[in-house]
Amino acid sequence: MPKEINLLIKQCKKKNQKAQMQLYNQYCEAMFFVTSTYLQDEEKAKDAMQEGFIKAFSKLDTYTQKTSFGAWLKRIIINHCIDELKKKKLETVSIENYPLEIVDDDNLVF
């Protein structure tokens, strides 16, 4: 891992907001590409990316240098996208489970 990234991570663990912003700027484009690929909606992708970074910064103490920081962050971002897709799927209700009724148009009031 480049020394610059390693130093930023150490500073981020100390809650240094400037370091967090620098780390964010370093990875935001790549992570936005990931969220866009999964969610296919620009606004939802932006939200998921932001939430993924927040989650990553809050769990930064769990990061070990066994993998690159980018790979670790990407895994968090992907897992967040999957969670969002699961929520969306739960919100979707099949109309097959509900009987359809035919309504007499003559009784409708406009």
Domain CATH number, residue 50: 1.10.1740.10
Give pLDDT, residue 89. Answer: 76
Q: How far is residue 82's CA from residue 59's CA, in Å, rounded to a whole number?
A: 18
Q: How far is residue 16's CA from residue 32's CA, in Å, rounded to a whole number?
A: 23
What total of structural domains would you count in the chain? 1
Q: How many Cα atoms are found within 13 Å in the side-chain-facing hemisphere of 87? A: 9
Higher pLDDT, 110 or 40: 40
Q: Is position 17 within any domain?
A: yes
Q: Is position 98 within any domain?
A: no
pTM for the model = 0.76
The maximal CA–CA distance of the chain, rounded, in angstroms, is: 76
Q: Given pLDDT bands bounded at 50, 70 and 90, which one contains residue 88?
A: confident
Which element (helix H / strand E) includes 90? helix 69-91
Give pLDDT, residue 2. Answer: 75
Q: Is position 49 within any domain?
A: yes
The 10s digit of each residue's pLDDT in 26-42 is 999 999 999 999 998 99
Q: What is the dihedral of CA 34, 46, 1, 23, to 10 degrees?
A: 170
Q: How far is residue 52's CA from residue 38's CA, in Å, rounded to a whole number?
A: 13
The answer to whether 41 and 35 are in contact (CB under 8 A) is no
Lowest model confidence (mean pLDDT) among 25-34, 63-72, 81-90: 81-90
The answer to whether 26 and 8 are in contact (CB under 8 A) is yes
Q: Is position 106 within any domain?
A: no
Owning domain of residue 27: 3-87
Give pLDDT, residue 100. Answer: 56
